[in-house]
């Protein structure tokens, strides 16, 4: 399978690439801003026997030009995409009245606008012969009716936008053999969680969550389309 994972330099994205790389039949395009961390990830994957082909690309998702360049590079290596996982995320933990416009723009640029740009840019490469799958990684914080937390208004509202976007795209492209689903993740032990809740210990590791996401991305589109699924050990 040909798989694209954004936000692969740390946390869940990093573990996702490692999981997919266990299958030698997979080619994984992994992106993030930090090329050095991506190269470290590739070396870690390459050390395992029968590993998949991991291809790292540095990409600043806040830059449309960088996404355009990424798309051109991807085309040099693969002709179609089976799975696209929009995993990259940005967070600002700040009281609402202290938020500056650049704070909100930063969060929405990565969490919403870059997802739109990635899907638009890579859409022509999505595999139509066999049903392909676009998985958007949201947060239970953006799930309607879930508990909300002070200081995370920009982050949670951006993740709610991703939820609605997923539903819209699933409807618009329901006849094109591409499934769109969204996973609203609960607390997972990552660097981003530490930024939001310093000192809090999550009940789920990044590796375990990545395993769930990977398995869902491979099989979920056979049964689901346009679904928003909370993945949390607590009730939203």
pLDDT band at 212 (very low <50, low <70, confident <90, very high): very high
User: Can you give the pLDDT at residue 186?
Assistant: 80
Residue predicted with more confidence, 141 or 126: 126
User: Can you give the pLDDT at residue 213?
Assistant: 96
Distance CA 20, CA 45 (A): 9
Taking a C-beta distance cutoff of 8 angstroms, is the pair 81, 75 a contact?
no
Domain ranges of the chain: 2-231
User: Can you give the pLDDT at residue 51?
Assistant: 87
The token pair that represents 3 in the structure block: 């798989």
pLDDT band at 235 (very low <50, low <70, confident <90, very high): low
pLDDT tens-digit profile of 78-122? 999 999 999 999 999 999 999 999 999 999 999 999 999 999 999
User: Can you give the pLDDT at residue 162?
Assistant: 96
User: Can you give the pLDDT at residue 18?
Assistant: 94
Least Cα distance to 2 among 25, 21, 20, 27 occurs for 27
Residue 177 has pLDDT above 70, yes or no: yes
pLDDT band at 48 (very low <50, low <70, confident <90, very high): confident
User: For the structural domain made of 2-231, what CATH number should be given?
Assistant: 3.40.50.720
Least Cα distance to 139 among 100, 91, 172 occurs for 91
């Amino acid at each position: 399978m040909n798989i694209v994972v954004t936000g692969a330099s740390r946390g869940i994205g990093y573990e996702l690439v490692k999981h997919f790389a266990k299958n030698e039949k997979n080619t994984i395009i992994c992106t993030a801003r930090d090329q050095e961390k991506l190269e470290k990830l590739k070396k870690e994957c390459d050390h395992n026997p029968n590993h998949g082909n991991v291809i790292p690309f540095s990409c600043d998702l806040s830059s449309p030009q960088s996404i355009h360049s990424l798309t051109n590079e991807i085309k040099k290596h693969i002709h179609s995409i089976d799975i696209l996982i929009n995993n990259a995320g940005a967070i600002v933990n700040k009281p609402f009245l202290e938020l500056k416009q650049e704070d909100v723009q930063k969060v929405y640029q990565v969490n919403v606008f870059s997802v739109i740009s990635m899907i638009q840019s890579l859409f022509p490469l999505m595999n139509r012969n066999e049903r392909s799958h676009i998985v958007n990684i949201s947060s239970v914080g953006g799930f309607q009716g879930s508990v909300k937390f002070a200081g995370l208004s920009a982050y949670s509202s951006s993740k709610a936008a991703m939820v609605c976007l997923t539903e819209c795209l699933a409807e618009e492209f329901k006849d094109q053999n591409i499934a769109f689903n969204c996973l609203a993740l609960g607390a997972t032990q990552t660097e981003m969680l530490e930024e939001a809740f310093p000192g809090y210990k999550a009940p789920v590791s990044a590796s375990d969550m990545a395993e769930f996401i990977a398995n869902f991305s491979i099989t979920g589109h056979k049964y689901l389309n346009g679904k928003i699924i909370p993945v949390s050990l607590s009730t939203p």
